[in-house]
Amino acid sequence: MAPKTTPSTPKSAPSPVASLWKAYNDETPDRLKFVDSFLVFLMLSGITQFLYCILVTSFPFNAFLAGFSSTVGQFVLTASLRSQVNPTTKDFKDVSPERAFADFALGSIVLHFFVFNFLG
Amino acid sequence: MRCLFSLLLLAASARAAILTLQSARFIITDAKGEQVRSEPISTTHAAKPIELGKSDTLKLTFQVFDKEEGQGVQPHQTFLRFYDEVSGEEGLQPVRVASNGKAKFELNLAKPPLSLPPTKADTPLKLSLIIGAPSHSPLTVKLPDLLLPASQAPPVHPDEASFHPLPEIHHTFRPDQKLPPRPISAVFTAVVLAPWVVLLGLWSQVSIRVPYIFSPSILPFIATLGAFEGLLFAYWVDLKLGQVLFYGAGLSLATIFTGKNALAAIGSRRTGKGN
């Protein structure tokens, strides 16, 4: 994902985390950033729903299941889309981005079908 | 026919000889073998009941005798009948009779025979002797009543407990779950919706161009994907599963077609650009 920064980092660099952030900002295409922000959104959304379930109540448990599993499932689907679309990933050279997006759309529709079943 | 048969029976019984009981007597001995009581049995008048203790033994001796011929007779069948008039229980005990008509019957209360009906302490057993032989008319002799100690309570069958109605089942249910108070719900609604703000904020930072989204090759694909989500939303609101599968089947055909078009267009544009 992010290029290796440790060997090339000079001693004067502020911190590895900051340089990692800088490298990500500079070198990641906007399309991937777009997908990444969606991933962050899914993660935060899942965490808050899970916190609500733990701290307050799991009462409409089907609703919790639907909401939480939709974020987790969507995260998985999106992460796999991202890794297939990413031009620097060597593993998916034979998979075209179009094919990856078709898989993503199909998987999302199936996931949403199950999620809406759970919503009740 | 029946009339003739009963006539024959009558004739047979009229001709049949009569049996009597001779030298009938009973002896009661206790556990040590000492004689407690010994009396001849009178068949003509009612005698005092024979009272037995827990470990006593009753010995009954008699001879079946044919007065006309003046000799003992071995009957075909000889039974002692114990009968409890109160409970209606009865027991029949066969008695072995020797060929000279003499018989000896022993009732050991330490080892009571199976045929002895269960007894209570205060109710006597009616005792009678039933004798049958084909050559003679049948004979039933009333013997003195038998007063026995109360028999033990019948043992409880191991499965006895399962033959009673079980106690009524009362189901207990968990109390209904409650929704949290409204302020907490409101706070967490805001918290759960907050990631949307983050998402929109991040997306506003990323400038991404989608120049061809309204081109005729791509727009139908986006529209069919949106229609799919709308269909699922309608499923949540009020559609049945069958309807969703039916509409979804049609929609998926359209989506496959539009998707193939759209992605092929994008692909050719990408490879064209790349070249």
pLDDT tens digit sequence for A84-93:
988 888 888 7
Domain total for chain B?
2
Q: Are residues B143 and B22 in the same domain?
A: yes
Same domain, B138 and B233: no
Tell whether B185 is covered by a domain: no
pLDDT, position B138: 87
Question: CATH number for the domain including B143?
Answer: 2.60.40
Query: Which of A34, A72, A94, A118 to substitute to test the interface with B, most B CBs within 10 Å?
Result: A34
A59 and B188: CB-CB below 8 Å? no
More confident residue, B141 or A111: A111
Q: B-chain residues within 8 Å CB-CB of A112?
A: 228-229, 232
Instruction: Give which of A73, A94, A97, A85 is closest to A33, Cα–Cα.
Output: A85
- Residue A105 has its nearest CB partner, among B208, B259, B270, at B259
Minimal CA separation from B236 to chain A, in Å: 6
| Residues in Cβ contact with B2 at an 8 Å cutoff, skipping those fewer than 6 apart | none
Do B139 and B252 fall within a single domain? no
Asked if the structure places residue B168 within a domain, the reply is no
The reply to whether B119 and B224 lie within a common domain is no
Q: What is the pLDDT of residue A69?
A: 95
pLDDT at A2 over 50: no
CA distance B22 to B7: 32
Task: Specify whether B120 is located in the same domain as B237.
Answer: no
Q: Which domain holds residue B267?
A: 209-274
Residues A28-84 have pLDDT tens digits of: 888 889 999 999 999 999 999 999 999 988 888 899 999 999 999 999 999 999 999
Question: CA torsion, points B250, B225, B263, A86, in degrees to nearest 10?
Answer: -140
- Asked whether residue B99 falls in the same domain as residue B213, the answer is no
Same structural domain, B216 and B96: no
Residue pLDDT tens, chain B, 275 long: 566 666 656 555 555 678 888 888 888 888 887 888 888 887 666 677 888 888 888 888 988 888 888 888 888 889 999 998 888 888 899 999 888 888 898 888 888 888 888 888 788 888 888 998 888 888 888 888 888 888 778 788 888 888 888 889 999 998 888 888 899 989 999 999 999 999 999 999 887 777 777 888 889 999 999 999 999 999 999 889 999 999 999 999 999 999 998 999 888 888 876 44
Q: Are residues B122 and B224 in the same domain?
A: no
Based on the domain organization, do B140 and B68 belong to the same domain? yes
Can you list the pairs that A52-59 forms with residues at least 24 positions away whose Cβ atoms lie under 8 Å? A52/B188, A52/B191, A52/B192, A56/B180, A56/B184, A56/B188, A57/B177, A57/B179, A57/B180, A59/B177, A59/B178, A59/B179, A59/B180
Same domain, B120 and B229: no
Strand partners, B19: B66
Cα separation, B133 vs B20, in Å, equals 12
Q: Which residue of B has its CA nearest to A46?
A: B192
A47 in the Ramachandran plot: left (φ > 0), alpha (ψ -120 to 50) or beta? alpha
Residue B127, domain member (yes or no): yes
Segment (H or E) for B262? helix B241-274
Judge contact between B125 and B82, C-beta under 8 A.
Answer: yes
Q: Provide the 8-state DSSP code for B143.
A: E
Choosing from B99, B126, B147, the residue where a domain stops is B147
Last residue of a domain, one of B98, B126, B147: B147
Residues B215 and B141 in one domain: no
Widest CA span in chain B: 143
In a domain, B198, yes or no: no
Q: Is residue B43 part of a domain?
A: yes
